[in-house]
Structure 1
Amino acid sequence: MIDFSLSEEQKAIRSWVRTFVQRELMPLENDVLRREREGHPPGLTHEERNRLRALARESGFWGVATPEEFGGMGLDAVTEALIETELGRTFLTFKFGGEADNILYHANEWQRRSYLVPTIEGERSSCFAITEPGAGSDAKAIRTRAVRDGDTWVLNGEKTFITGGMEADFALVFAVTDPERGADGGVTCFLVDRDMGWTSEPIDTMGERRPASLVFQDVRVPHENVLGEEGRGFELAMQWIGRGRYLLPARALGGCERLLDMGLEHARTRETFGAPLADRQAIQWMIADSQTEIEALRLLVLHAAWRVASGRDSRHAQAIAKLFGGVKANEIVDRVMQIHGGMGYTRELPVERFYRDLRLLRIFEGTDEIQRRTIARDLIRGHVKVGATLV
C-alpha cells in the first residue's frame, strides 16, 4: 500500500517554513525589486540574509540536513524537499544557515576543526569548484593541474560558473594529479583558502545568481589540505553533484505554486470585454495544464527524495525530476506572464523576475540534454527497467 501522507513533524516543519517565507521574506520582495531597478546588486543584502538566518536560528531552525552531532536538525531528504518547496515560493534566494557541503564530512579531524565546523557555524564559506571553461557538464574533462612539490601541491588552472565564488573564503577544488589515470584515480580534491592566492571575477547573468570565474596560478596548497584520498576526487565530486539535484526542481515547484496563485488572482479580477479573464477558455486551459504539471512535478520530486532518504540509487529519479521540473517550470511561468499581459512583462511584478531565474534550472547542475542522456542511457544499458522505478 502506498501512503502519501506526511508525518506530523513534516507538516509542522512545512507550516513553519511557509509562515517564515510569508512573514519575513515576501515583504522584502518589493524593496529588492526596487533596488534592482535602481542598479543595486540583485537579491538580499548580506545584512538581510544574516538577520533572517539569526531569526530562524532563534526558533531552532538551523542546519536542516546537518547531523545532530554537529548541532543540526538532521532532517531526511523528503523533509528537505518540503522545505525547498516552501522557500521556492519567493524569488529571493535564501537558505537557512548551519549547512556545509556534504563532501566536507569526509574531512579528517584537523580539517573538520579548520573547515567543516566553522562553515556550519557561518564563520567560513565555501564554493564547489569543478566546472571549467572547456569542461561544463563533462566533469571528466577538467584540465586544472596539481603537481606535487614536497609537502605542497602547486595548482594551475581556471574554474568557471562557480556558485558562491565571490563570497567564499575557501574552495573545494578538483584538479588532475595523475594525467595517466584521468578521472578514475587521477583527480584529487583540495581545500584551498583564498589567501593561498587564487582570485575570482564575477560573471554577470540575466538572473539573480552571480557565479564567478576562479583563477589558480601557481597556488601552493599544503598536502594536509587534500580532502579524502589522493586520486579519489572524482568520486567526491559525484557525491556532491548527486546528493541534492532533486532539491532544484523542489524549489521550482514552490515557485510554480506561487505563480499559479498569482495567475488565478489576476484572472479572477482582470476584466476584458465585460467579463473576467477567468471566464475565457484559453485562460482556463493554461490554469488546468499548469495545475496538472505542478502535481506531476510534486510526485516526481518526492519520489526522488524518498529514494535518497531510503538509501536507494536515486540518480535516475533525480534526473527525471530535474528534467521535468526545468521544462515545466519554464512553461508555467511563461503562461502566467501571458495571463498578466503587459503587466507581467514589467519589472514591477515578481513574474518577470521568476521568468529570468527559472530559466537557469534548465542549464545549471546538468542541462536538460545531460538529464535526457542519463535517463536514456540508464534504460538502454539496462540499469533501470521500464516500470520498475519503485523497486
Structure 2
Amino acid sequence: MVDFGLTDEQREIRAWVRTFVEREIMPLENDVLRREREGAAPGLNADEVRELRALARKSDFWGVQTPMEYGGMGLDSVTAALIEVELGRTFLTFKFGGDADNILFHADEEQKRRYLLPTIAGERRSCFAITEPGAGSDAKAIRTRAVRDGDSWVINGEKTFITGGNEADFAMVFAVTDPERGADGGVTCFLVDRDAGWTSEPIDTMGERRPAALVFEDVRVPHSAILGEEGKGFTLAMQWIGKGRYLLPARALGGCERLLTMAIEYARTRETFGAPIADRQAIQWMIADSQVEIEALRLLVLQAAWQVDAGRDSRHAQAIAKLYGGTKANEIVDRVMQIHGGMGYTRELPVERWYRDLRLLRIFEGTDEIQRRTIARDLLKGHVKVGETLR
C-alpha cells in the first residue's frame, strides 16, 4: 500500500513554519498593502526580510536544503515542498536564509570560498542569468558571447527577466564560447562579479516581482571564473532549471488554500436576498471545484518531490505539477474574486494581489506551453508510458 502519511519530523516542521507565517509574516500584510497603495516598492522591504530571517535562525531554521556540512538543515525534497506550501499561505514573498543556487556546489575550492560560502551566510547575493530578449524558453538560442583573450574572457550580451538581478552582487552568466558546437558543448557558465562592469535595470511588472535586464559590454573575467567545465554550461543550466519546479506549484498550493479559506468565510457572512451566499449552489460548486483541484495539486506536488528524493528522473512529474498548478491556481483565484464580488476587485483585500502574482506561474521557469511540450514529448518518444508513472 502507498503510505501518504508524514513523518513526525515533517509534521513538526510544517507546524513550526505555519506558526511562523501566521505570527510573523501575515501581520505585515496590511502594512505592505498600504505601502503599495501609496506607491512604495511591492512586498517586504530589505529590513523586514533580514529581521524575519534572523528570527528564524534563532530557532535553527537556516538553509532548508543546504547540506549539513555547510551549516544547513539538509532537508529532503518532500519536506521542502511542505515548507513552500506554508510559505505560500501569505502573498508576501519570503524565503528562509542560508540557501545557495544548487549549481554553485559545482564550484572549485577557491570559488566556494568567494561565492558559495558567503552566499549561504547571507553575505553575498547571486542571480541566474540565462534568459535573453530572444531566448526565453528556448535556452539554446542564447546569443551572449564570451571570447577568450589570453587568460581572460570578454563577455558581451544582454540578459532579461533575471530574478534577483537588481540586488545581486554576482551573476552566473551563460555565454556562447564555441558557436560551432552549439548548446551541447559550446556554452559556458561564468561567475561574474558586478564590479567587473555589468549593469542592471529593473523591469516593471504587474506583480510583486521586479526582474532585471542585465547588460554586459566588454566585461572581462579571468579563466578561473568558469563554473564547472568549459563548454558544459548548458548542462548546469538544465540542472538549475530542474532543481525544483515542484516548489513553484507547492507555493501556489499554499496560496490557494488561504484563498479558498477566505472565500468560505466570506460566503458564510455575505448575505443577498435574505440569505448567505454560501446557500447558493453557484457558490457551493465554485468552492467544491476549488477543493478538488487543491487536493489533486497536493498529490502531484508531493509525488514529484518524492521522485526527487528517490533519485528518479522527476522532470515529467514536475512538468505536470507545474502545468496543473499554474492553470488551476489561476482558476481558483478567479473564483475567489468572483465570490468576493466588488470587494475582491479592490486593493483593500489581497485577492487582487494574488490574482496578479499567480498569473506569473504560467510563464516563468517554463511556460505552460513548454510544460505541455515536455509532457507530450516524453509520451510520444516512450520515455514515459501512460499509467506507469509510479512504477
Counterpart position of 1:203: 203
2:346 and 2:370 mapped to 1: Cα distance? 33
Counterpart position of 1:24: 24
Counterpart position of 1:389: 389
After TM superposition, give the deviation of residue 21 of structure 1 in Å. Answer: 0.3
Counterpart position of 1:300: 300
1:229-268 equivalent positions in 2, closer than 5 A:
229-268=229-268
TM-score normalised by L of structure 1: 1.00
Counterpart position of 2:290: 290
After TM superposition, give the deviation of residue 6 of structure 1 in Å. Answer: 0.1
Counterpart position of 1:147: 147
Counterpart position of 2:371: 371
Which letter maps to 2:323? L
After TM superposition, give the deviation of residue 360 of structure 1 in Å. Answer: 0.2
Which letter maps to 2:36? E
1:69-148 equivalent positions in 2, closer than 5 A:
69-148=69-148
After TM superposition, give the deviation of residue 206 of structure 1 in Å. Answer: 0.2
State the 4+ residue runs in structure 1 displaced beyond 2 angstroms: none
Counterpart position of 1:281: 281
Deviations 1:279-311 (A, max 9, x none): 000000000000000000000000000001111
Deviations 1:231-279 (A, max 9, x none): 0000000000001111000000000000000000000000000000100
Counterpart position of 2:38: 38
After TM superposition, give the deviation of residue 178 of structure 1 in Å. Answer: 0.2
TM-score normalised by L of structure 2: 1.00
2:36 and 2:309 mapped to 1: Cα distance? 39
After TM superposition, give the deviation of residue 197 of structure 1 in Å. Answer: 0.2
After TM superposition, give the deviation of residue 115 of structure 1 in Å. Answer: 0.1
Counterpart position of 1:170: 170
1:245 and 1:153 mapped to 2: Cα distance? 32
Unaligned runs of 5+ in 2: none
After TM superposition, give the deviation of residue 121 of structure 1 in Å. Answer: 0.2
1:60 and 1:272 mapped to 2: Cα distance? 50
Unaligned runs of 5+ in 1: none
1:61 and 1:270 mapped to 2: Cα distance? 40
After TM superposition, give the deviation of residue 221 of structure 1 in Å. Answer: 0.7
After TM superposition, give the deviation of residue 116 of structure 1 in Å. Answer: 0.0
* Count of residues in correspondence between the two structures: 391
User: Equivalent pairs: percent with the same residue?
Assistant: 84
Which letter maps to 1:82? L
Instruction: Give the 3-state SS of the residue equivalent to 1:51 in structure 2.
Output: helix
Counterpart position of 1:191: 191
RMSD of aligned Cα (Å): 0.3
Instruction: Give the 3-state SS of the residue equivalent to 1:243 in structure 2.
Output: coil
1:42 and 1:141 mapped to 2: Cα distance? 32
Which letter maps to 1:260? L
Which letter maps to 2:108? N
1:343 and 1:85 mapped to 2: Cα distance? 26
Instruction: Give the 3-state SS of the residue equivalent to 2:157 in structure 1.
Output: strand
